[in-house]
Amino acid sequence: MLASFDPDSLQGDEELARIARFAAHLCDAPSASVSLVEAARQRFIASEGFEETETPRSTSFCATTMLGSEIFEVLDASVDQRFRDYALVTGASHLRYYVGAPLISREGASLGALCVTDTKAHSEPLTDVQREGLRVLAEAVMRRIETHREAGRTMAEIKLSAARVQFVLDSVPDIAWSAAPGGYFDYFNARWEKTTGLPRPQNVEDWRNVIHPDEYERTRAKFMAAVEKSEPFEDEWRMKQADGGYRYVLSRAVPSTHDPETARWYGTLTDIDDTYRISQERELLAGELAHRIKNIFSVIIGLITLHSQGDATQKAFGEILADNVRALSRAQDFALHIGDQSEENLQSLLAILMAPYGIPGSSAVTISGDDVPTGRRAATPLALTFHELATNSAKYGALSVANGKLSISIKRSADAVTIVWRESGGPQTKAPEDTGFGSRLIRMSIQNQLGGSIEHDWRSEGLHAELVLPLERLAQ
């Protein structure tokens, strides 16, 4: 018998019954059947005018038919030594005439026959037209069987695939769910019961039993807003566990279409409680670290100020050194907050570094251009560089007068970033006659630590400086 084919599923098939009916009419006989011959029996899965449902294979006419590839015909079985003692011939069925066309699969396997029978012997064999017609009908029977076989194979594959998907869904640590349009939740994987010990929710209100009371209304409103717009949903809340406690989960859901009326929803609940609490502990630790580092910087600045008093030269040097330490303190503030994605770019760092300069409430300093990722290691040399530029501008350049302006523009390319420093509206500038500590500090920071370059252009309207920094070094 064919793989993926269940004969029981075709028992009484209407299409095969119509073929049998026409076969009987074609052969001028009262009855016809589609028979499948098994190891010990012959089964009639569709018949016309034939009462039997099965017979032993040992007394099956069709078992003889399927031994060959051509139509097999018996005009009078009662006088045929091969069949005259068969129960169908001697018994109440009173079979006399038989003709069968073998049913052969595309793999060449003989399955049975499309047979036509009569209780009266026939004096003449089938005509060529009748024989050809019977062959065509037998081919139609096989097409029906093959179609059913393919459908069975496809269904078996679908069931196997569904079983595998279900196994995967039930094995993952996340809770997976789906909902029909209208907010009816129709599927949860096995993880739901294992995690919550609660019945599966059927609507949004049922989720009240599992979401922490302090967070239910907020996340419900957020989810319903996503449903109304058919937009992806994401939120964090505490989910009740089977032991009565609560754990933080990341709740995500996506719609199947952009139409709120027809969209199905597919979602997951991921346990993030351990990660969430570790993150809180790290934030607390980072805050304490930031506080202590700021205290250290304050102590250093205080010591510099204390030990530089009394001597004009030492005092001037102390002020410069204290200003540099303050710049490093601001850079450290930036580095400690880099975990916040909104602050890990060059514009944010420059805004922090330039905050002490210019006139409050004015637009003396403007920063514009591309977003460029900036890492912790790059923050320190950048702080020293721009602090030095800003200090010089506040003493001698555009930021030393009320109408002075400073613009900083950032342009990103494939592998580098160009920062242009433009001063205007200040006193006329000129290049310094000698290279002081500040210039050496800038070049050391830009060239040695960041692998970049800086060029100064002392224009009449103000300093124009251009810095080129490798993106790779800047992101470190």
Question: What are residue 114's DSSP bridge partners?
Answer: 34, 101
Structure tokens at 333: 């503030």
Question: What are residue 187's DSSP bridge partners?
Answer: 178
Question: What are residue 408's DSSP bridge partners?
Answer: 367, 421
What are the residue ranges of helices labelled H in 103-175?
Answer: 128-171
Q: What is the average per-residue pLDDT within 104-110?
A: 86
| Residue 177, CA distances (Å) to 189, 190, 218, 425 in order | 7, 10, 20, 64
Band (371; pLDDT cuts 50, 70, 90) = confident
Q: Which residues contact 431 (CB under 8 A, 6 or more apart)?
A: 456, 458
Phi, psi at residue 473, to the nearest 5°? -70, -35
Which has the minimum average pLDDT: 208-212, 294-298, 353-357, 373-377? 294-298
Distance CA 366, CA 348 (A): 12
Give all strands of the β-sheet with 233-240 in edge-to-edge order. 184-188, 175-180, 265-271, 246-255, 233-240
User: Which range has highest mean pLDDT (66-75, 426-435, 444-453)?
Assistant: 66-75
Q: What is the pLDDT of residues 379-412, one digit of tens each?
A: 778 877 887 888 788 778 888 887 888 889 999 8
Distance CA 332, CA 352 (A): 11
Distance CA 75, CA 6 (A): 33
Quote the mean pLDDT of the chain: 82
Of the candidates 182, 195, 187, 74, the one whose C-alpha atom is nearest the C-alpha of residue 125 is 74
| Residue 261, CA distances (Å) to 24, 202, 255, 258 in order | 55, 18, 11, 9
pLDDT over 80 (residue 15): yes
The DSSP element (H or E) to which 24 belongs, if any, is helix 14-26
pLDDT over 70 (residue 322): no
| Residue 63, CA distances (Å) to 58, 153, 361, 406 in order | 8, 27, 103, 101
pLDDT computed for residue 454 by the predictor: 87
pLDDT computed for residue 388 by the predictor: 80
pLDDT computed for residue 348 by the predictor: 80
Residues 2-13: b if buried by 16+ CB within 10 A, e if exposed: beebebeebeeb
436 within 8 A of 404, measured Cβ to Cβ: no
Which has the minimum average pLDDT: 179-193, 244-258, 318-332, 346-360? 318-332
Distance CA 226, CA 224 (A): 5
Q: What is the average per-residue pLDDT within 78-90?
A: 92
Which has the minimum average pLDDT: 14-18, 122-126, 349-353? 349-353
pTM for the structure as a whole: 0.42
DSSP for 357-395, written as a single string? SS-TTS-SEEEEE---B--HHHHHHHHHHHHHHHHHHHH
Of the candidates 417, 402, 339, 328, the one whose C-alpha atom is nearest the C-alpha of residue 375 is 339
Band (284; pLDDT cuts 50, 70, 90) = low
pLDDT computed for residue 393 by the predictor: 82
pLDDT computed for residue 340 by the predictor: 43
Q: What is the average per-residue pLDDT within 186-202?
A: 89
446 within 8 A of 417, measured Cβ to Cβ: no
